[in-house]
């Protein structure tokens, strides 16, 4: 019998080790930087850790974890995601969604009056997120901007878009 891993929520990604005392530079993947407040419990590379210290640094966080006191202990964590249990996901405003909520939704294009496929991934870019949608044969990238994404109905499992002609798949 195989035990399914419990889903988790990515809140950061370890970019690199910083200095000799085991600090890590973490890219924020959350709108809630207080998740890295001292005393917070997170999981890094499958390992439960408690934040000892943290500070914002050039758009990222410099984080020190209890039990990670030197560069050698910190190096295996480079590149790993920092997660919390999905049950700890915070409520978002009505027009915001976690990426995991969008993956698997069916996308319909109103301009072509057809189904484009399902969201298989949400790509993060500085300007806006992008939905990677596939129907198995074709793939289309859809920018998550209001002029394109008309509605998201989680309960119905659908996203309605109005793709410009130049973006038609």
CATH number at 129 reads 2.30.30.240
Q: Is residue 74 part of a domain?
A: yes
Q: What pLDDT shows up at residue 56? A: 92
| Residue 31, domain extent | 8-88
- Look up residue 142 and give its two tokens: 């859809």
Beta bridge partners of 153: 158
166: confidence class by pLDDT, cuts 50, 70, 90 = low
Distance CA 39, CA 14 (A): 18
Is it the case that residue 65 has pLDDT exceeding 80?
yes
CATH of residue 40: 2.40.30.60
pTM here is 0.75
Q: What is the tally of structural domains in the chain?
A: 2
> What is the model's pLDDT at position 72?
96
Residue with tokens 């001292």: 38
Whether 5 shows a pLDDT value over 60: the answer reads no
Mean pLDDT in the chain? Answer: 90
Distance of CA 11 to the CA centre of its chain: 7
Sheet holding 149-153, edge to edge: 139-143, 130-134, 114-123, 106-109, 158-161, 149-153
Q: Which residue has the higher pLDDT, 165 or 55?
A: 55
Residue 140's pLDDT is 93
What pLDDT, on the 0 to 100 scale, is given for residue 3? Answer: 46
In this structure, the strands spanning 114-123 and 139-143 are: unpaired
């Amino acid at each position: 019998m195989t035990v399914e891993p419990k889903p988790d929520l990515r809140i950061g990604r370890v970019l690199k080790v910083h200095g000799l005392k085991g600090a890590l530079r973490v890219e924020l993947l959350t709108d809630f930087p207080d998740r890295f407040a001292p005393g917070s419990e997170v999981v890094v590379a499958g390992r439960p850790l408690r934040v000892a210290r943290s500070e914002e640094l050039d758009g990222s966080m410099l984080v020190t974890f209890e039990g990670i006191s030197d560069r050698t202990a910190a190096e295996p964590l480079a590149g790993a995601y920092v997660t919390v249990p999905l049950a700890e996901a915070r409520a978002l405003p009505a027009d915001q969604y976690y990426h995991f909520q969008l993956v698997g939704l069916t996308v319909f294009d109103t301009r072509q009056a057809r189904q484009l496929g399902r969201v298989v991934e949400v790509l993060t870019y500085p300007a806006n997120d992008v939905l990677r949608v596939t129907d198995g044969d074709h793939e289309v990238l859809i920018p998550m901007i209001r002029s394109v994404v008309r509605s998201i109905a989680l309960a119905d499992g659908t996203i309605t878009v109005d793709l410009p002609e130049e973006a038609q798949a």
